[in-house]
Amino acid sequence: MTPSCCIVNLSSRSADWISCKLLGVESLPLSDPPLWSCTTKYYTATVHLHSLDLAQVLESRDNSTDSWPANTEALILYCDTTKESFNDCSKVWEIFGKHGPPVCLCVVEKATDQVTSEKELTRTAILDWCLTHHFELVECDETPEEEEEEDQHTDSDIPAERVGRDRIAEALESHTWSNMVVSQQAAPSTTTRVPLPDNGDKPPGTDTLEAECDSFESLFAQLASIKQRSANLPDDERRSYAEKMALAFYAAMGQPDSEETMSVTKFS
């Protein structure tokens, strides 16, 4: 089944620009819902883009034939910064939240703590809502910060982090869609042994459990399982395991595994 990205417009503006930006067109196609071909360096996937308003979302509660809420892998809420708009956000989340979409974006044109009306929410309050409901806040007016010359990347293969409206596509492209097909160019022939964490799931008498991956594709396909296995590890062990996984992916892409050619970022 083709996964869905639901774009719910809870603002006083049109949200068509989101679908148009993803599709690379100036106006929406006649097909409903349009089909977006998500293509990256590593995989391709096809995704239905559902454009909805609050009334359509609320109607889905009583319509058992609507499959898109349960099939939604990405949820985008386009909002005003008003209290009313975020009350509507909470209503939408009551329906989608039980399905746990992996990608959740809250998109606003601009947020500030210097509000001039009691009807407006401060940026701090909006961030609090997003953190509580596990959304990423995307501010359309945000622009990339200029880095100091000595801090700029010298490797042209490292893409700059996208912000503002461009962040929407980046977030969706970073998701592992359920119907993705890994690019053959990203799957060189190699064998990588990935140590799996000890979270109590190992067979009795087994000291170590390893997964042999004969290509980038097979390693990428096990990402969800690996993530689930490491979820219950203590923080220090999870950081250590993340380093090992980064090295495994690096090796699977045909890169040498050495400190001279790669440095692993440690997250605190």
Give pLDDT tens digits for 214-231: 455 555 656 656 666 666
Residue 182 included in any domain: no
Number of domains in the chain: 2
| Domain of residue 203, residue span | 187-252
Q: Say which amino acid occupies 72.
A: T
Q: Residues 44, 122: one domain?
A: yes
pLDDT, tens only, 137-185: 999 998 887 654 445 554 555 567 789 999 999 999 999 999 999 887 6
Residue 266 included in any domain: no
Residue 50 included in any domain: yes
Q: Say which amino acid occupies 114.
A: Q
Q: What is the CATH number of the domain that holds 49?
A: 3.40.50
Residue 262 included in any domain: no
pLDDT, tens only, 29-45: 877 889 999 999 889 99
d(CA 110, CA 139): 6
pTM over 0.75: no
What is the percent of the chain where pLDDT is above 90?
A: 49
Q: Residues 91, 149: one domain?
A: yes
- The CA angle 87-92-98, to the nearest 5 degrees, is 125
